[in-house]
Amino acid sequence: MKKVGILLIVLALAIAAGTVQAKDWKVVRIGVEGAYPPFSWVTPEGELKGFDIDIAKALVAAMGAEVKLIPQDWDGIIPALLARKYDAIVASMSITEERKKKVAFSDKYYNTPGKFVCKKGAMKDFTRAEVAQATKGKSIAVQRATIHDRFVTEQGGEGVKVKRYGTQDDAYLDLVAGRVDMLLADSVAIDDGFLKKPEGKDFQFIGPDLSEVEYFGEGAGIAIRKQDTDLVEMFNKAIQKIRQDGTYKKIQDKYFDFNVYGE
Length of the chain, in residues = 263
Domains 25-111+218-255 and 114-216 share a fold: yes
Its CATH architecture, for the domain 114-216, is 3-Layer(aba) Sandwich (3.40)
25-111+218-255: CATH number: 3.40.190.10
Rounded Cα distance, 33 and 73, in Å: 6
Domain ranges across the chain: 25-111+218-255, 114-216
- The model's confidence at residue 22, banded by pLDDT at 50, 70 and 90, is low
Cα 244 to chain centroid distance, Å, stands at 23
Q: Does pTM top 0.85 for this prediction?
A: yes
Mean pLDDT score across all residues of the chain: 93
Tell which residue, 215, 234, 214, has the closest CA to residue 224: 234
Confidence class for position 14, pLDDT limits 50, 70, 90: very low
Q: Kindly indicate the confidence band of residue 7, based on its pLDDT and cuts at 50, 70 and 90.
A: very low
d(CA 142, CA 65): 36
Q: Residue 9 above 60 pLDDT?
A: no
Are 53 and 71 in contact by the 8 Å Cβ rule? The answer is no
Contact indicator for 209, 216 with CB cutoff of 8 Å: no
Alpha-carbon distance values, 96 to 106, 198, 244 (Å): 12, 34, 26
How far is 144 from 30, CA to CA, in rounded Å? 21
pLDDT digits (tens, 9 = 90+) for 105-156: 999 999 999 999 999 999 999 999 999 999 999 999 999 999 999 999 999 9
pLDDT digits (tens, 9 = 90+) for 45-98: 999 999 999 999 999 999 999 999 999 999 999 999 999 999 999 999 999 999
pLDDT tens readout for residues 175-224? 999 999 999 999 999 999 999 999 999 999 999 999 999 999 999 999 99
